[in-house]
Amino acid sequence: MIGRFDNVIIQTISRLLIPPIQLFALYVIAHGHYSPGGGFQGGCILGASFILMVIAYDIKEAKRMMSEKVNTIFSSLGVIIYSGIGVVCLILSANYLDYGILNKIMPVTIAEARALGIFGVEVGVGITVMAVMVSIFLNLASGGEHEEAEE
């Protein structure tokens, strides 16, 4: 539906904007656990940057940078990271998502281990959210040719 239309201004501006947006997204993700923000918000921003690119260029461009396959892998990879960390805690004979225990395998204190654990989870969430945002958008924008990925 969104056909290609070359508009120098839009493309240049979005070229300029996208990197800082993504950087900010990473910041939001990384600081999620001790300031406002977190995986979901960061993921949304990250996804928004891709969407901006799709709007500025066209779907083929976006697909070139992030193909359907990669997208699908990302969307499930995030969840696997998140639940994987939890399972690691299980394996270390603590309860699910009890990050404190992670200090057994990392040279850090329990508090730091908690911070790192939650950070890992945030990253996972971020990746998934980003991937799903993009796939939903592409799915709608392309009128369903882009196979739907389920949240």
Partner 1 sequence: MEFIIGKFNYWIYIVLMMIGFYAMIAKSNLVKKLVGMNIFQTAIILFFISIGSKKGATIPIIQEGATGDAVNQAVNVARYINPLPHVLMLTAIVVMVSTFGVAMALIIMIFRKYKTLEEDEILEIMRSEENK
Partner 2 sequence: MTAQAPILIIIIPLIASFLNVIIGLWRKRLCYPLVIITLSLSVILSISILNTVITQGVIHYRLGGWEPPWGIEYVIDHLNAFILIIVSFISFTIAIYSKRNVEQEFPEKTVYFYTIYLLLVTGLLGITITGDVFNLYVFLEITSLAVYALIAIGRDKKAPLASFNYLIMGTIGACFYLLGVGYLYIVTGSLNMADLGRLLPDLYHSKVVLAAFAFFTVGVAIKMALFPLHVWLPDAYTYAPSTVSAFAASTMTKVGVYVMIRIMFTVFEPRFSIVMLPSTEILGWVASGAMIFGCILAIAQTDVKRMLSYILIAEVGYIVIGVSVANRAGFTGALLYILFDAFTMACLFMAAGAVMHKTGETSIHGFRHLHRRMPLTMAAFSIAALSAIGVPPFAGFFSKWYLVLGAIDAGKWIFAVLLLLSSLLVAVAFFRIIQNVYFPPYEILIAGSEIALPSARNDKITLMDEAPMSMLLPIVIMAAGILLLGFFSGRIISTIIQFTVPGGF
Residues 15-74 that bind partner 2 (CB under 8 A): 69, 72-73
Residue 61 near partner 1 by CB under 8 A: no
Alpha-carbon gap, residue 38 to 28, rounded angstroms: 6
Q: Which stretch binds partner 1 (CB under 8 A): 62-70, 90-98, 99-107, 135-143?
A: 135-143
Residue 40 near partner 1 by CB under 8 A: yes
Q: Quick one: tokens of 45?
A: 């921003």
Binding-site string for partner 2 from residue 63 to residue 102, where x marks contact by CB under 8 A and - marks none? ------x--xx-xxx-xx--xx-xx--x---xxxxxxx--
Residue 132 near partner 1 by CB under 8 A: yes
Determine how many CB atoms are found less than 10 A away from the CB of residue 150: 6
In the block, tokens 């493309």 appear at 11
Alpha-carbon gap, residue 130 to 135, rounded angstroms: 9
Where does 31-58 have alpha helices with state H?
39-56
Among 7, 35, 67, 76, binds partner 1 (CB under 8 A): 35
